Structure 1
Amino acid sequence: MSIFGKIKSAIFGEKGPLGSGHFGTPKPEAVPAPAPAPQTTSAPAPIPQAAPAVTPVTAPAPQSVDVESVLSGIASRKNSDLNWRSSIVDLMKLLDLDSSLDNRKELATELGYTGAKDGSAEMNIWLHKAVMRELAKNGGTVPAGFAD
Protein backbone atom coordinates (compact mmCIF):
# COMPACT_ATOMS: atom_id res chain seq x y z
CA MET A 1 0.00 0.00 0.00
CA SER A 2 1.24 3.48 -0.82
CA ILE A 3 2.23 5.91 1.93
CA PHE A 4 -0.76 8.09 1.08
CA GLY A 5 -2.97 4.98 1.06
CA LYS A 6 -1.82 4.24 4.61
CA ILE A 7 -2.66 7.81 5.65
CA LYS A 8 -6.15 7.54 4.11
CA SER A 9 -6.74 4.17 5.70
CA ALA A 10 -5.67 5.43 9.12
CA ILE A 11 -8.06 8.39 8.91
CA PHE A 12 -11.01 6.97 6.97
CA GLY A 13 -10.80 3.39 8.19
CA GLU A 14 -10.34 0.34 6.00
CA LYS A 15 -13.53 0.87 3.98
CA GLY A 16 -13.11 4.57 3.40
CA PRO A 17 -15.80 7.26 3.53
CA LEU A 18 -17.90 5.51 0.89
CA GLY A 19 -18.00 2.17 2.65
CA SER A 20 -16.86 0.47 -0.52
CA GLY A 21 -13.75 -1.32 0.65
CA HIS A 22 -11.64 0.98 -1.47
CA PHE A 23 -11.32 4.68 -2.02
CA GLY A 24 -13.34 5.99 -4.90
CA THR A 25 -16.83 5.66 -6.23
CA PRO A 26 -18.38 2.24 -5.68
CA LYS A 27 -19.75 0.49 -8.72
CA PRO A 28 -23.54 0.10 -8.74
CA GLU A 29 -24.68 -3.46 -8.22
CA ALA A 30 -27.12 -5.10 -10.61
CA VAL A 31 -30.30 -6.55 -9.17
CA PRO A 32 -32.67 -8.64 -11.31
CA ALA A 33 -36.18 -7.25 -11.73
CA PRO A 34 -38.89 -9.38 -10.12
CA ALA A 35 -40.31 -12.13 -12.35
CA PRO A 36 -43.95 -11.74 -13.43
CA ALA A 37 -46.49 -13.75 -11.41
CA PRO A 38 -47.51 -17.03 -13.09
CA GLN A 39 -50.96 -17.14 -14.69
CA THR A 40 -53.35 -19.85 -13.47
CA THR A 41 -56.17 -19.51 -16.02
CA SER A 42 -56.81 -22.00 -18.80
CA ALA A 43 -56.18 -19.35 -21.43
CA PRO A 44 -53.91 -20.11 -24.34
CA ALA A 45 -50.27 -20.50 -23.40
CA PRO A 46 -48.60 -17.12 -22.91
CA ILE A 47 -45.95 -15.96 -25.31
CA PRO A 48 -42.54 -16.62 -23.79
CA GLN A 49 -41.04 -13.49 -22.28
CA ALA A 50 -37.47 -12.36 -22.40
CA ALA A 51 -35.29 -12.84 -19.33
CA PRO A 52 -36.02 -10.39 -16.53
CA ALA A 53 -34.41 -7.01 -16.97
CA VAL A 54 -31.51 -6.09 -14.71
CA THR A 55 -32.12 -2.89 -12.78
CA PRO A 56 -29.04 -1.01 -11.54
CA VAL A 57 -29.07 0.02 -7.91
CA THR A 58 -27.71 3.48 -7.35
CA ALA A 59 -24.96 3.82 -4.80
CA PRO A 60 -25.75 5.63 -1.57
CA ALA A 61 -24.59 9.22 -1.34
CA PRO A 62 -20.95 9.42 -0.21
CA GLN A 63 -20.45 10.07 3.46
CA SER A 64 -17.88 12.70 4.23
CA VAL A 65 -15.24 12.17 6.91
CA ASP A 66 -14.38 15.15 9.12
CA VAL A 67 -10.59 14.83 8.95
CA GLU A 68 -9.88 17.39 11.67
CA SER A 69 -12.31 15.72 14.06
CA VAL A 70 -10.86 12.26 13.42
CA LEU A 71 -7.29 13.46 13.92
CA SER A 72 -8.22 15.48 17.02
CA GLY A 73 -9.87 12.37 18.44
CA ILE A 74 -6.78 10.27 17.80
CA ALA A 75 -4.58 12.93 19.41
CA SER A 76 -6.90 13.11 22.41
CA ARG A 77 -6.97 9.32 22.88
CA LYS A 78 -3.18 9.20 22.69
CA ASN A 79 -2.84 12.25 24.93
CA SER A 80 -0.62 13.64 22.17
CA ASP A 81 0.67 17.16 21.75
CA LEU A 82 1.96 16.57 18.22
CA ASN A 83 1.55 19.50 15.81
CA TRP A 84 -0.30 17.44 13.17
CA ARG A 85 -2.24 20.49 11.93
CA SER A 86 0.82 21.86 10.14
CA SER A 87 3.58 19.24 10.34
CA ILE A 88 3.65 16.24 7.99
CA VAL A 89 6.12 14.52 10.33
CA ASP A 90 3.80 14.94 13.32
CA LEU A 91 0.77 13.91 11.24
CA MET A 92 2.51 10.69 10.25
CA LYS A 93 3.64 10.05 13.84
CA LEU A 94 0.09 10.60 15.10
CA LEU A 95 -1.10 7.93 12.66
CA ASP A 96 1.69 5.55 13.76
CA LEU A 97 3.35 5.75 10.33
CA ASP A 98 7.06 5.91 9.64
CA SER A 99 7.87 9.61 9.22
CA SER A 100 11.45 9.05 8.07
CA LEU A 101 12.89 11.11 5.25
CA ASP A 102 12.79 8.05 2.97
CA ASN A 103 9.03 7.66 3.53
CA ARG A 104 8.44 11.38 3.05
CA LYS A 105 10.43 11.23 -0.20
CA GLU A 106 8.23 8.35 -1.33
CA LEU A 107 5.10 10.30 -0.37
CA ALA A 108 6.44 13.35 -2.25
CA THR A 109 6.92 11.21 -5.34
CA GLU A 110 3.39 9.74 -5.03
CA LEU A 111 1.83 13.19 -4.76
CA GLY A 112 3.88 14.78 -7.55
CA TYR A 113 6.30 17.00 -5.68
CA THR A 114 8.82 18.40 -8.16
CA GLY A 115 11.23 20.20 -5.83
CA ALA A 116 14.30 18.82 -4.11
CA LYS A 117 13.37 15.82 -1.97
CA ASP A 118 15.73 16.75 0.82
CA GLY A 119 13.38 17.01 3.81
CA SER A 120 13.42 20.80 3.70
CA ALA A 121 10.74 22.88 5.34
CA GLU A 122 9.49 23.73 1.84
CA MET A 123 9.02 20.05 0.99
CA ASN A 124 7.39 19.22 4.32
CA ILE A 125 4.94 22.13 4.14
CA TRP A 126 4.04 21.18 0.57
CA LEU A 127 3.53 17.55 1.62
CA HIS A 128 1.19 18.46 4.47
CA LYS A 129 -0.96 20.65 2.23
CA ALA A 130 -0.93 18.08 -0.58
CA VAL A 131 -2.03 15.32 1.81
CA MET A 132 -4.89 17.49 3.04
CA ARG A 133 -5.94 18.32 -0.54
CA GLU A 134 -5.90 14.63 -1.48
CA LEU A 135 -7.89 13.69 1.63
CA ALA A 136 -10.48 16.29 0.58
CA LYS A 137 -10.59 14.84 -2.95
CA ASN A 138 -11.21 11.38 -1.48
CA GLY A 139 -14.19 12.23 0.71
CA GLY A 140 -12.64 14.08 3.61
CA THR A 141 -13.82 17.40 4.97
CA VAL A 142 -10.70 19.46 5.57
CA PRO A 143 -10.63 23.02 6.96
CA ALA A 144 -9.65 25.50 4.23
CA GLY A 145 -6.44 26.57 5.96
CA PHE A 146 -5.13 22.99 5.96
CA ALA A 147 -5.05 22.58 2.19
CA ASP A 148 -3.96 25.99 0.85
Structure 2
Amino acid sequence: MSIFGNILSKLGFGHDKSAATANSTPAATPATTAPATEAPAVRQPEAGVAAPAAISTVDVVAKLEELSRSHTEKLNWKTSIVDLMKLLGLDSSLAARKELATELGCPAEKMSDSAQMNMWLHKAVIQKLAENGGNIPADMLD
Protein backbone atom coordinates (compact mmCIF):
# COMPACT_ATOMS: atom_id res chain seq x y z
CA MET A 1 0.00 0.00 0.00
CA SER A 2 1.20 3.53 -0.70
CA ILE A 3 2.26 5.80 2.15
CA PHE A 4 -0.69 8.11 1.48
CA GLY A 5 -2.92 5.03 1.43
CA ASN A 6 -1.57 4.17 4.88
CA ILE A 7 -2.39 7.69 6.07
CA LEU A 8 -5.97 7.33 4.79
CA SER A 9 -6.28 3.94 6.44
CA LYS A 10 -4.95 5.15 9.81
CA LEU A 11 -7.51 7.97 9.79
CA GLY A 12 -10.41 5.63 9.08
CA PHE A 13 -11.02 6.54 5.46
CA GLY A 14 -12.71 3.79 3.50
CA HIS A 15 -15.50 3.06 1.14
CA ASP A 16 -18.29 0.59 1.70
CA LYS A 17 -17.12 -2.16 -0.63
CA SER A 18 -20.40 -4.06 -0.36
CA ALA A 19 -22.33 -1.03 -1.66
CA ALA A 20 -19.90 -0.62 -4.54
CA THR A 21 -20.26 -4.29 -5.41
CA ALA A 22 -24.03 -4.12 -5.21
CA ASN A 23 -24.08 -1.07 -7.46
CA SER A 24 -21.81 -2.63 -10.04
CA THR A 25 -24.25 -5.46 -10.78
CA PRO A 26 -27.58 -4.07 -11.93
CA ALA A 27 -30.66 -5.96 -10.87
CA ALA A 28 -32.64 -7.68 -13.60
CA THR A 29 -35.85 -5.81 -14.41
CA PRO A 30 -38.89 -7.40 -15.98
CA ALA A 31 -39.66 -6.27 -19.53
CA THR A 32 -43.10 -4.83 -18.90
CA THR A 33 -44.62 -1.51 -19.85
CA ALA A 34 -45.67 0.65 -16.92
CA PRO A 35 -49.08 2.33 -17.07
CA ALA A 36 -49.01 6.02 -18.01
CA THR A 37 -50.16 7.07 -14.51
CA GLU A 38 -47.06 5.73 -12.76
CA ALA A 39 -43.88 7.75 -12.31
CA PRO A 40 -41.08 6.90 -14.76
CA ALA A 41 -38.81 4.08 -13.65
CA VAL A 42 -35.38 4.91 -12.26
CA ARG A 43 -32.76 4.22 -14.90
CA GLN A 44 -30.48 1.32 -14.04
CA PRO A 45 -26.74 1.55 -14.72
CA GLU A 46 -25.61 -0.17 -17.87
CA ALA A 47 -24.20 -3.67 -17.48
CA GLY A 48 -20.52 -3.65 -16.55
CA VAL A 49 -20.51 0.02 -15.47
CA ALA A 50 -19.87 0.53 -11.79
CA ALA A 51 -21.72 3.31 -10.05
CA PRO A 52 -19.38 5.69 -8.21
CA ALA A 53 -18.94 4.85 -4.56
CA ALA A 54 -20.04 7.47 -2.07
CA ILE A 55 -17.24 9.16 -0.17
CA SER A 56 -17.76 9.10 3.56
CA THR A 57 -16.73 12.20 5.49
CA VAL A 58 -13.99 11.78 8.07
CA ASP A 59 -13.42 14.41 10.78
CA VAL A 60 -9.65 14.44 10.39
CA VAL A 61 -8.96 17.07 13.05
CA ALA A 62 -11.06 15.26 15.67
CA LYS A 63 -9.31 11.96 14.94
CA LEU A 64 -5.85 13.53 15.09
CA GLU A 65 -6.64 15.44 18.29
CA GLU A 66 -7.88 12.22 19.86
CA LEU A 67 -4.66 10.44 18.87
CA SER A 68 -2.64 13.40 20.13
CA ARG A 69 -4.25 13.27 23.59
CA SER A 70 -3.15 9.67 24.06
CA HIS A 71 0.33 10.10 22.52
CA THR A 72 3.31 10.27 24.86
CA GLU A 73 5.04 13.07 22.90
CA LYS A 74 3.69 16.59 22.34
CA LEU A 75 3.43 16.65 18.54
CA ASN A 76 2.71 19.66 16.34
CA TRP A 77 0.80 17.73 13.65
CA LYS A 78 -1.02 20.84 12.40
CA THR A 79 2.16 22.22 10.81
CA SER A 80 4.74 19.41 10.82
CA ILE A 81 4.62 16.47 8.41
CA VAL A 82 7.12 14.63 10.62
CA ASP A 83 4.86 15.00 13.66
CA LEU A 84 1.76 14.09 11.63
CA MET A 85 3.41 10.88 10.45
CA LYS A 86 4.67 10.07 13.97
CA LEU A 87 1.18 10.61 15.38
CA LEU A 88 -0.20 8.11 12.88
CA GLY A 89 2.50 5.59 13.78
CA LEU A 90 4.17 5.82 10.36
CA ASP A 91 7.84 5.99 9.43
CA SER A 92 8.71 9.71 9.39
CA SER A 93 12.29 9.30 8.17
CA LEU A 94 13.60 11.50 5.36
CA ALA A 95 13.48 8.52 3.01
CA ALA A 96 9.80 7.88 3.82
CA ARG A 97 8.95 11.57 3.42
CA LYS A 98 10.75 11.67 0.07
CA GLU A 99 8.80 8.60 -1.04
CA LEU A 100 5.52 10.27 0.01
CA ALA A 101 6.54 13.52 -1.70
CA THR A 102 7.28 11.62 -4.92
CA GLU A 103 3.96 9.79 -4.61
CA LEU A 104 2.09 13.12 -4.29
CA GLY A 105 4.01 14.86 -7.10
CA CYS A 106 6.30 17.22 -5.23
CA PRO A 107 8.20 19.57 -7.58
CA ALA A 108 11.83 18.52 -8.10
CA GLU A 109 13.22 21.84 -6.85
CA LYS A 110 11.57 21.30 -3.46
CA MET A 111 12.81 17.71 -3.15
CA SER A 112 16.42 18.87 -2.80
CA ASP A 113 15.62 21.09 0.23
CA SER A 114 14.10 19.03 3.04
CA ALA A 115 12.53 22.07 4.77
CA GLN A 116 10.77 23.19 1.58
CA MET A 117 9.76 19.62 0.80
CA ASN A 118 8.35 19.17 4.32
CA MET A 119 6.25 22.35 4.09
CA TRP A 120 4.97 21.39 0.63
CA LEU A 121 4.32 17.83 1.78
CA HIS A 122 2.26 18.84 4.83
CA LYS A 123 0.05 21.10 2.70
CA ALA A 124 -0.30 18.42 0.02
CA VAL A 125 -1.29 15.73 2.54
CA ILE A 126 -3.90 18.00 4.17
CA GLN A 127 -5.27 18.95 0.73
CA LYS A 128 -5.42 15.30 -0.39
CA LEU A 129 -7.21 14.35 2.83
CA ALA A 130 -9.83 16.99 2.03
CA GLU A 131 -10.13 15.73 -1.56
CA ASN A 132 -10.76 12.22 -0.24
CA GLY A 133 -13.62 13.24 2.04
CA GLY A 134 -11.75 14.62 5.02
CA ASN A 135 -13.45 17.40 6.93
CA ILE A 136 -10.59 19.91 7.09
CA PRO A 137 -11.02 23.47 8.44
CA ALA A 138 -10.51 26.20 5.84
CA ASP A 139 -7.59 27.73 7.79
CA MET A 140 -5.62 24.50 7.34
CA LEU A 141 -6.22 24.49 3.58
CA ASP A 142 -4.65 27.92 2.94
TM-score, normalised with respect to structure 1: 0.70
Correspondence for 1:30: 25
2:11 is equivalent to residue 11 of structure 1: yes
Alignment equivalent of 2:17, drawn from 15, 20, 28: 20
Greater mean deviation of Cα atoms: 104-113 or 60-69: 60-69
Structure 1: unaligned runs, 5 residues or longer: 37-53
**Shift, 1:145, TM fit:** 2.3
Bigger helix share: 2
Please tell me the residue identity of whatever aligns with 1:3: I
RMSD between aligned residues: 2.9
User: Take 1:60 and 1:2, find their aligned partners in 2: how far apart are those partners?
Assistant: 21
Bigger strand share: 1
User: Take 2:139 and 2:11, find their aligned partners in 1: how far apart are those partners?
Assistant: 19
Greater mean deviation of Cα atoms: 113-122 or 84-93: 113-122
Q: Deviations over 1:14-64 (max 9, x none)?
A: xx1x3338xxx946243535769xxxxxxxxxxxxxxxxx945x7785321
User: Take 2:90 and 2:113, find their aligned partners in 1: how far apart are those partners?
Assistant: 16
**Shift, 1:83, TM fit:** 0.4
**SS of the residue aligned with 2:103?**
helix
Higher Cα radius of gyration: 1
Q: Tell me the percent identity.
A: 48
TM-score, normalised with respect to structure 2: 0.73
Aligned length in residues:
125
